Structure 1
Amino acid sequence: MARIIPMASSIKPSLSSPPGFARRPRAGVPVFNSFHRRLTLFHLASAVPQLQSFGLWASKFIKGESGGISLSAAESAAQASTAIPQENALDWVKKDKRRMLHVVYRVGDMDKTIKFYTECLGMKLLRKRDIPEEKYTNAFLGYGPEDSHFVIELTYNYGVDKYDIGAGFGHFGIAVDDVVKTVDLIKAKGGKVTREPGPVKGGKTVIAFVEDPDGYKFELLERGPTPEPFCQVMLRVGDLDRAIEFYEKAYGMELLRKRDNPEYKYTIAMMGYGPEDKSAVMELTYNYGVTEYDKGNAYAQMAIGTDDVYKTAEAIKLSGGKITREPGPLPGLNTKITACLDPDGWKTVFVDNIDFLKELE
């Protein structure tokens, strides 16, 4: 759902550039991202003041005839009509039907990455779209259809072959039946193994770590059959208790488990909308004494489904999150979205559940 429009390397990102993007210009690296029609819904999620980062494609949707930027009367009315009392907003979050939809990130060689994911990790290429006039390509991969599975959205920007992953992004998790056999296959295909199969430190689960062609780390976890093999996204945070509270209140996630590892000086918290063996979850990691991370410009964002983007935005504000795209339908489309940053600056886009299914038709 994401595409990133490359900009001239001589243009510096403004102070409003979203967290996770380079503060200093890098030759050939885009400063910001926007998206094709279907997934315009997720990356037009940036705040209107950041319009200068979208490029001409986005501006033709957002700017009216006068060149000004404003919400339509219908959108404003809809936003007002769905507002709920503050005391009810956080309670509503717990009842909302939410699901992790997909994760968006950038790659330097689309064909090479697709080959690795399909041949080594057993994913399926769900769809691919090239937009030459806007110089980007999108590909969606996963272990099942997008309306029922958590999937990956890859973005390739013409001429950009390398991105900075940063220190904040951790890894993705893939559940496999046999870690040793999977690692042997990856080695045979020329893949990079960074941690040989063996029990996790302090536990019994057999794991291994591999890297894809762009350097994104994948943790292979040995599990029995599961409906969602693409099972984890690990991000590092500077205050774990603060992050847990925010994800519970604003995102409606459940704290599935928390484990402290004083010997290795880190603590993890697993957050999600269902059990780890049946659904994708967030793994938040706190390293002792580290309160801030460089997020680079490779990882983009998470997308989550919701029954009401307006109520979602209210709950996010009440929970201390920063709204970067006010809730409402996208210009020229009926899909309703809202976007925000968590306390650590990680971006999430919420999309209306019904509108999302219509976009997949």
Structure 2
Amino acid sequence: MVRIIPMASSIRPSLSSITFSSRFGVSLSSCNNPSRRLNSFHAGCVPQSQLFSLKASKLVRAEGSNMAVRAAGNMAPVSSAITQEDALDWVKKDKRRMLHVVYRVGDLDRTIKFYTECLGMKLLRKRDIPEERYTNAFLGYGPEDSHFVIELTYNYGVDQYDVGAGFGHFGVAVEDVAKTVDLIKAKGGKVTREPGPVKGGRTVIAFIEDPDGYKFELLERGPTPEPLCQVMLRVGDLDRSINFYEKAFGMELLRKRDNPEYKYTIAMMGYGPEDKNAVLELTYNYGVTEYDKGNGYAQIAIGTDDVYKTAEVIKLSEGKVTREPGPLPGINTKITACVDPDGWKTVFVDNIDFLKELE
């Protein structure tokens, strides 16, 4: 289980006083104090028409919280309703890829140093948004247009987060686990599981923690195009989750393994083979139906050819759309957002619009 980090009283402001910003999130007025802002991905009081950019936040302040989701006359037409059979057929053909995972850290420079020096990642880009009091850093093993990457968010003045018990770990494939662990130790990193074969298998693994307490599983593999290879989340009903991710997200169940000795079952879900693509690892612990998610982990972003059809498929699959599809106010990027049956958040981003943003 992931160690739950308590937030020290000296730095633990109430949720209504923290700006939880992220790449697809803007700071909206909190319910308790209009002068303070809260990220749209972590506030129960944010309306369903959540907004997801700095430019969007400026329009929100100008037009008010009841603004309809639109882009100044540039709203793309909503796709016509589709049947469940058509939806399931379309979602399998949609060009989808896991783009990045978003989470919050207490010291951005410290985390960047750890990821680049210990895990061999590259700092792809960094941006500061002083108006919204947050900074983003994108790190990974290759360009964002072809690799799954990490988006770190630092909110001014917040130096610690609760990782929660629901988030599991990130997986990183390395060619020599023991050598990587030695490097991490030399840099003062924390190793929580020494290198060795996985229980019940032959793959050599190790576990480490970054400075904020997020766990990384090091997996020994040969050269791979996608070293940042896993995001593990815990769920309360594995079959329910598998069914949802297959139907609503168009993911494939790559493999499933039950481990009765240690009372857990895992399912690997994704858009391609594990050795070439980032995958979602869902873990069910016997008898545990709910988890504390903390306030550190935010969401995964996935590319799609049509956010409108994506939203319809999610609804037909009994999913909850938390942001109706459409262009972001002020820019043309089209998105939609949802939560899975356990409340884990995902943002779908138009593929063409995403590439334009990277330009």
Class of the TM-score when normalised by the shorter of the 2 chains: 0.7 to 0.9
Gap change, CA 1:213 and 1:34, over 3 Å in 2: closer
Alpha-carbon deviation of 1:27?
Answer: 1.6
> CA distance change for structure 1 residues 77 and 103 in 2, over 3 Å: closer, same or farther?
closer
Residue 221 of structure 2 is aligned to residue 223 of structure 1? yes
Q: Which among 176, 179, 182 is matched to residue 178 of structure 1?
A: 176
1:53/1:333 Cα in 2 relative to 1: closer, same or farther (>3 Å)?
closer
In the TM superposition, residue 287 of structure 1 has moved relative to its aligned partner by 0.0
Map of 1:189 onto structure 2? 187
Kindly provide the amino acid, as one letter, of the partner of residue 224 in structure 2.
Answer: T
CA pair 56-358 structure 1, distance change in 2 beyond 3 A: closer
8 Å Cα contact 2:197/2:204 also seen in 1: yes
2:102 alignment partner AA: V
Letter of the aligned partner of 2:280 in structure 1?
A: M
1:312 aligned residue: 310
1:34 and 1:58 in contact (8 A); partners too: no
Q: 2: CA distance between counterparts of 1:236 and 1:322?
A: 19
- Of the three residues 295, 298, 301, the one matched with 1:300 is 298
Superposed counterparts of 1:101-112, under 5 Å: 101-112=99-110
Q: TM-score, normalised by structure 1?
A: 0.86
- Output the CA distance in 2 between the equivalents of 1:122 and 1:263: 35
Letter in 2 for 1:204: R
Q: Which whole-Å CA distance do the structure 1 matches of 2:281 and 2:64 have between them? A: 46
State how far apart, in whole Å, the 2-side matches of 1:86 and 1:54 are. 29
Q: CA deviation at 1:130?
A: 1.4
Displacement of 1:64: 6.3
**Are the counterparts in 1 of residues 104 and 154 from structure 2 also a CA contact under 8 Å?**
yes
Q: Which of 306, 322, 345 is 1:324 aligned to?
A: 322
Q: Who is 1:209 aligned against? A: 207
Q: Percent identity?
A: 81
Helix, strand or coil: the match of 1:320? coil
1:27 match: 13
Equivalent AA in structure 1 for residue 253 of structure 2:
L
Gaps of 5+ in 1: 1-21
Q: How far did residue 211 of structure 1 move? A: 0.3
1:249 is aligned to 247
The structure-2 alpha-carbon separation of the partners of 1:122 and 1:77, relative to structure 1 and needing over 3 Å to count, comes to: closer
Q: Could you report, residue by residue, the CA deviation over 1:213-240 in whole angstroms, capped at 9, with x for unpaired residues?
A: 0000000000000000000000000000
Q: 2:77 — aligned with what?
A: 78
Following the alignment from structure 2 to structure 1, what is the Cα–Cα distance between the partners of residues 129 and 62? 24
Following superposition of structure 1 onto structure 2, how do residues 57-206 of structure 1 map, counting pairs within 5 Å?
59-62=57-60, 65=63, 68-72=66-70, 78-79=77-78, 81-206=79-204
Is the contact made by 1:51 and 1:59 (CA closer than 8 Å) also made in structure 2? no
Kept in 1: contact 2:193–2:208 (CA 8 A)? yes
Tell me by how many angstroms 1:257 deviates. 0.2
Provide the alpha-carbon RMSD of the alignment. Answer: 2.7
Partner Cα distance (1:49, 1:302) in 2: 20
Confirm or deny: 8 A CA contact 1:101 1:151 kept in the other structure.
yes
Aligned residues: 335
Aligned pair in 2 of structure 1 residues 165, 316: CA closer, same or farther (>3 Å)? same
Q: Pick from 263, 266, 273: which aligns with 1:265?
A: 263
Structure 2 unaligned regions, length at least 5: 1-6, 27-38
Show CA shifts across 1:268-316 (max 9, x none).
Answer: 0000001000010000000000000000000000000000000000110
Whether 1:283 and 2:281 are equivalent positions in the alignment is: yes
Contact kept, 8 Å, 1:28 with 1:159, in 2: the verdict is no
Q: Is the 8 A contact 2:171 2:229 kept in 1?
A: yes
Deviation >4 Å, runs of 4+: 28-32, 43-48, 50-59, 63-67, 73-77
Cα separation, partners in 2 of 1:53 and 1:142, compared to 1, 3 Å: closer
CA distance in 1, matches of 2:238, 2:327: 33
TM-score of the pair, normalised by structure 2: 0.87
